Structure 1
Amino acid sequence: MGSSSLRVYGGVAGNDRKAERRAQLIEAGLELLGTGDGEQGVTVRGVCKRSGLTARYFYESFADRDELAVAVFDHVVSGIATATLEAVDSAPAGTRAKVRAGLATIVRTVAEDPRRGRLLFSPALSSTVLAHRRVESTRMFARLLGGQVREHYGIGGSTALDLMTEFLVGGLAQALTSWLNGVLDLSEEGLVEHCLEMFLAVQGGRLEPGDGAAGLQAGTG
């Protein structure tokens, strides 16, 4: 019997129940990855115990614990990306307001749930599968930032813009890592404001909406 034919129990369709179970497993995986001893502490048995589900339901959604770890990572990254884009879109017009809204959302989202920060930045979580995902997510955020810059300033792409976004996203990731580890003695608001000024300084005030690509391309010849 196909998944489309799954029965309805208690008013909840079979596909919805499967999605709920998957969400429970992802939450359990986040708890174990974000508070435990790293990937070695994540076992099928442990995830099932934490989620209150049996192994049958684990394998209904995931082939193994690596696949679960990837799903947990992607869930966290997707949530941060979606919240950040929504914050930028809702912010008042103007570069400063939009950059601050994006940065504040990223910092708040990581700070309010330390498990997310550990998953994204902790060296204790450095298996091949998560290391690869971290590289991919950094590139994804750089692409998102580049898209926002192009839309905001009405410019096309360029190597200089690519360099700027890679520089800013990589620098922010390192700053967040050090902040979460207590290396940077800053409040949440202080971190946002310092990063805001750095983002604006790198942009250098050389672009205004409608200026085109000339500002970013200056000095690259």
Structure 2
Amino acid sequence: MATQRGGAATRWAGVPVARRKDERRDMLVQAAFRLFGDEGETALTVRAVCREAGLHTRYFYENFTDTSGLLAAVHDREATALGEALLSALEDAGPQPEPRTRAGVSAVLRFLSADPRRGRILFAEARGNEVLADRRRAAQTDLLDGLLAMTRVPDPSLALVVAATMFTGAMSELARQWAEGRLGDDLDPVVETAVSLALAFHDAAVRAASS
């Protein structure tokens, strides 16, 4: 748990007001990540988050209207971190489809493996919470747009758009199943199987687009 309320005056002494607010917001987001990631949505109350962060409730309302806003911030933080990990992996992989696909799938699943709570926030619980569901849909749309941009085709055919849409949904489901432990705990065969299927799907889409 973070610094207790009694030490608040000492903790923030000499810290600029704007920085104080940013630090308190980050403390609340980290506390919510731990609570939601470990216990689920029912654990995420204003009182519980403030207790976990070691902050007075007034600091919660300094940053958020309600726990939905806080949960959105938690999701956005993890989604940004995942996006950065994915982009880095793809840049290192080069332009060829097979290494890029392998790098992308591996990056997503390794990111979730590094802290299983990420999977609950980004995938496992998203279907039952409207805040998370909205962000999940937006993330899938961004991924779809990114996949289409990677093809470097100015006006992609219907076949390519359909293929990219199906891959985006399949990748999200793969991540959810991995995060929930339904695919075992050996990452390598999961990645290799996913890559083989994705490449076969890609080849079929290319053939359909050229026919």
Give 2:210's match in structure 1, choosing from 192, 195, 218: 218
Tell me how far apart the structure 2 counterparts of residues 125 and 114 of structure 1 sit (CA, whole Å). 17
| Contact persistence 2:108–2:175 (CA under 8 A) | no
Equivalent position of 1:165 in the other structure: 164
> Following superposition, which runs of at least 4 residues in structure 1 exceed 4 angstroms of deviation?
9-12
TM-score, normalised with respect to structure 2: 0.84
* Cα distance, 1:12–1:165 mapped onto 2, change above 3 Å: farther
TM-score, normalised with respect to structure 1: 0.80
Equivalent position of 1:176 in the other structure: 175
- Structure 2 residue 104 is the aligned partner of structure 1 residue 102: yes
Q: CA offsets, 1:144-177, max 9 Å, x none?
A: 2222233xxx554333222112211211221222
What letter is aligned with 1:218?
Answer: S
Q: How does 1:82-97 map to 2 (within 5 A)?
A: 82-97=84-99
- Structure 2 residue 24 is the aligned partner of structure 1 residue 21: yes
What letter is aligned with 1:217?
Answer: A
CA RMSD of aligned residues (A): 2.3
Partner SS, residue 166 of structure 2 = helix
- Structure 2 residue 184 is the aligned partner of structure 1 residue 192: no
Structure 1 position 29, deviation (Å): 1.0
Greater per-residue helix proportion:
2
Partner SS, residue 204 of structure 1 = helix
What letter is aligned with 1:120?
Answer: L
* Cα distance, 1:68–1:125 mapped onto 2, change above 3 Å: farther
Q: What are the ranges of 5 or more consecutive residues in structure 2 without an aligned counterpart? A: 1-11
What letter is aligned with 1:114?
Answer: P
Q: CA offsets, 1:87-130, max 9 Å, x none?
A: 21122342222222222111111111101101122248612222
Q: CA offsets, 1:1-39, max 9 Å, x none?
A: xxxxxxxx6664332232222111111111111111x32
Q: CA offsets, 1:43-68, max 9 Å, x none?
A: 01111111111112111111100111
* Cα distance, 1:77–1:216 mapped onto 2, change above 3 Å: farther
Q: Percent identity?
A: 33
